[in-house]
Amino acid sequence: MLKKLFGKKEKSLDEVIYSPLNGKVVELETVPDPTFSQKMMGDGIAIEPTDGKVVSPVNGKIIQFFHTKHAVGIESESGLEILIHVGLETVGMGGEGFEGHVKEGDKVKVGDPLITVDLDLVKEKASSTITPVIITNPDVLETVDKKYSDGATNETEIMSTKVKRN
């Protein structure tokens, strides 16, 4: 009631997550790394990318950007924390082949460039290009609906969620 009296804006409780990469959307359980396939970091999906342009899947803020530029964490407007981890065992590349376009604290909108990656180099130096997209705070979720596609683009909805009320 006080929120209504003082006009405080409530956060949106429904959140759509768009594909951060062009490619095939697959089940997280198929990722050949137990950290992701066993959902140790959270729930989500994975993308087999067809190009190296990684964009923001939500409107929000960059809360983590790894110095090796292989992974980025975003907090969405509804409070979801989303990790995009480009490839498997890419941390060992030390940032080679990765170009970052954001820094921690930046505000982003759906489709804003986050990372550009040389997928050929990743294929050569890492174990896989498959890219997990993880909700790392699944405890805030009431529901998550995952959508799989053979030809996802940066405009394809890959997950829709409902975030619990506080």
Active site (catalytic) residues: 85
Inter-residue contact 73 to 12 (CB < 8 Å):
no
Question: How many whole angstroms separate alpha carbon 43 and alpha carbon 66?
Answer: 20
DSSP state of 128: B
CA distances from 53 to 46, 49, 110 (A): 15, 9, 13
- CA torsion angle 146 80 136 147 (round to 10): 10
Q: Token pair for residue 163?
A: 């975030």
CA distances from 1 to 7, 41, 105 (A): 10, 36, 32
Chain centroid to Cα 48, Å, comes to: 13
- Type of residue at 115: I
